[in-house]
């Protein structure tokens, strides 16, 4: 009897180990590459980092060379975002306040969203739309509940790109999981 029950226990243990291993693999496989630190297809850094052409007469006009189709365009140099519809028309544009860690110019996709969290700088934020990470710092758009912009404290590394609450809501409605995000100079 002891021999058959020990074989039964060994079988259950082996099945449990296999199940845990399988579940761990599945969990690891569902983490977005841009948040896991693994390179992957969610980010395509730009081959050239030259500044996209601007319309000097209309500074809020969508820069040329900022991609095609439906997308979010974020200009590092202008601290501005454009929400571009499928037909290429600008649906909205607004100023943003970047953190002190910038994404590289390139094409990304929205990988996760949170309705409300506390930002890296300790400020409660809403409408969080994340699209990449740089040196372990997650990069994404958000709106501070108190209307504040990111901290300028160099000791706090933050990739939060702050918007007004109204602009944050517009981004939330537009940028769902998988939405293209184009970062330009």
> What is the token pair recorded at 88?
């290429």
Q: Do residues 121 and 98 touch, judged by C-beta distance below 8 A?
A: no
When pLDDT is averaged across residues 166-170 and rounded to a whole number, the result is 98
pLDDT digits (tens, 9 = 90+) for 119-150: 988 999 999 999 999 999 999 999 999 999 88
pLDDT digits (tens, 9 = 90+) for 33-88: 444 444 444 455 543 445 666 666 777 899 988 999 999 999 999 999 999 999 99
Residues composing the chain: 185
Q: In 3-state terms, what secondary structure has residue 42?
A: coil
Residues 6+ apart with CB under 8 A from 165: 126, 127, 143, 144, 145, 147
Closest CA to 16 of 8, 2, 28, 5: 8
Distance (Å, whole) CA 177 – CA 48: 26
**What kind and span of H or E run contains 73?**
strand 71-75
What is the phi-psi region of residue 68: left when phi exceeds 0, alpha when psi lies from -120 to 50, beta otherwise? Answer: beta
Give the pTM.
Answer: 0.72
């Amino acid at each position: 009897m002891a021999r058959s029950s020990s074989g039964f226990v060994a079988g259950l243990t082996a099945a449990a180990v296999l199940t845990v291993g399988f579940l761990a693999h599945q969990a690891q496989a569902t983490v977005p590459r841009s948040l896991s630190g693994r390179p992957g297809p969610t980010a395509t850094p730009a081959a050239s980092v030259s500044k996209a052409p601007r319309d000097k007469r209309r500074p809020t006009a969508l820069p040329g060379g900022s991609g095609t189709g439906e997308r979010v365009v974020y200009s590092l140099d202008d601290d501005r975002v454009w929400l571009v519809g499928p037909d290429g028309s600008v649906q909205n544009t607004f100023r943003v306040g970047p953190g002190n860690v910038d994404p590289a110019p390139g094409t990304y996709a929205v990988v996760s969203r949170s309705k409300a969290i506390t930002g890296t700088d300790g400020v409660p934020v809403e409408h969080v739309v994340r699209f990449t990470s740089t040196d372990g710092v997650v990069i994404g758009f958000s709106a501070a509940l108190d209307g504040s912009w990111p901290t300028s404290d160099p000791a706090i590394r933050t990739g939060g790109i702050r918007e007004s609450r109204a602009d944050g809501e517009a981004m939330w409605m537009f940028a769902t999981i998988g939405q293209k995000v184009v970062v330009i100079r």
